[in-house]
Chain A
Amino acid sequence: MDARAWLEQVRSECLRQKLPTLYVERLVSELSDHHFDFMEDSMSTDAKEFGYATSRLGMPGKIASVAAEQYRLQRFSSRHPIVMFVLLPVITLPLLWAVSIICLLLLAKGFGFESGALTASESVSKWANSTIPFVVMGILLAPIAAAAAFYCRLAIKSAVSWKWILATCAILALIGGTAVANVALPTAVSKGTVAFGFGVSQNPSPQQLLQFAVPLSIGCWVIFKRRNYGGRIVGGPAHN
């Protein structure tokens, strides 16, 4: 069997194992290089050497089954970058915001700010009302920054292309940049309110701009810091 037919057989065996095309193309390309190296090493173009070289590489079926086994052992995030770096960030932020707001409500309750049963002193009320805008800003920004850092780290660990870092940070920026929240603590005469939603106006607030910029800055910084990582080879083990 000549090298081309052998490589074709590896390709079809791998595809039969339902391995992704990019993964298969990378494998076949490296096997082709390996074969070429062997032929160059032995300084031969003899047809018998072709057979010997391919026998050294292994049977196509065996290589495909090892490839399938190793592929399954890869990280979930490497195998399914669309799920991990596009779909999950969409639900991560609302979840983190929900948790943050619940924590804020519990904290407020702990300080005596409970609608209908206000026990906080006047000095505490004054202090709380002056700090609440910053707390709300933190509640919106901290989850965005945490999610961006988490997904960037995950992308690096999973050795996926830098484009996934950019994609995940862009998604976080779009969702984060549209989020708005308002919290009013209860007073003796009024109930407390928590308002949370998404919206974009022609003139976004500085806070929304910040929410938009933070994940993109984190993503760009990570890509810049790991620019060698961007030089990953074509294809890669996952969908790149």
Chain B
Amino acid sequence: MGERKSNPAFLNGIPEMLILQLLSRRAMYGYELVQAITAASREEFEFGEGCVYPILHRLESQGLLKSAKESVSGRVRVVYCATPRGKAQLAQSVGSWQRVVTAVNHALQGGERGRPGLA
């Protein structure tokens, strides 16, 4: 069985943000969520799809997500959605992420006092 390459960045805090972002829009079951991540990230992230479930369970135990069994397309599935606390956490994470991106871009473009950037 060949192993899919995994992007380490996917396992360093980014999945939580992506998962919360997608589940704050609408409730999804695991497989649907993985498809949504792949589509939303334009297939930039390669990861073992099974690794999403432990993250979902942890976010649920922290009260950021909630789950329920629902019948979808004739099958009972575990559907997840973001809680109000999860949405608040998402807003905070997005703010931090955008600050980091701005700072890194600024640094890469040379910055005010820095040397000419990489670009």
Interface residues of A (CB under 8 A from B): 1, 6, 10, 23, 26-27, 30-31, 33-34, 37-38, 41, 51, 54-59, 62-63, 66-67, 69-71, 73-75, 78, 156-159, 228-229, 231-234, 236-238
Interface residues of B (CB under 8 A from A): 1-4, 6, 11, 29-31, 34, 47-51, 53-55, 57-58, 60-63, 66-69, 75, 77-78
| A51: B residues at CB distance < 8 A | 1
| B58: A residues at CB distance < 8 A | 70-71, 73-74, 237
Q: Is the CB of A75 within 8 A of B3?
A: no
**Cβ 8 A contact of B61, one of A27, A59, A238:** A238
* A223 nearest CB across to chain B (Å): 15
Q: Is the CB of A27 within 8 A of B78?
A: no
| A228: B residues at CB distance < 8 A | 68
* Interface CB pairs A-B, < 8 A, 21: A1-B1, A26-B57, A33-B75, A37-B31, A41-B31, A62-B6, A63-B51, A66-B55, A71-B57, A73-B58, A74-B58, A78-B62, A156-B63, A158-B61, A158-B63, A228-B68, A231-B68, A231-B69, A232-B66, A236-B61, A237-B57
CA distance A229 to B51 in the complex (A): 25
Q: Is the CB of B30 within 8 A of A34?
A: yes
Q: Is the CB of A232 within 8 A of B68?
A: yes
Known interface pairs A30-B78, A62-B48; A74-B53 also in contact (CB < 8 Å): no
Q: Is the CB of B51 within 8 A of A33?
A: no
Chain A CB count within 10 A is highest, among B47, B48, B61, B77, for B61
| A159: B residues at CB distance < 8 A | 60-63, 66
| B11: A residues at CB distance < 8 A | 66
Q: Is the CB of B4 within 8 A of A55?
A: yes
Interface of B is mostly: mixed
Chain A residue nearest in CB terms to B55: A70
| A55: B residues at CB distance < 8 A | 1-4
Give 9 nearest A-B pairs by CB, closest first. Answer: A58-B48, A37-B31, A70-B54, A57-B50, A237-B57, A78-B61, A67-B54, A70-B58, A74-B61
* B38 nearest CB across to chain A (Å): 10
| B47: A residues at CB distance < 8 A | 58
Q: Is the CB of A58 within 8 A of B54?
A: no
Chain B residue nearest in CB terms to A1: B1
Q: Is the CB of B54 within 8 A of A66?
A: yes
* B21 nearest CB across to chain A (Å): 19
CA distance A57 to B67 in the complex (A): 21
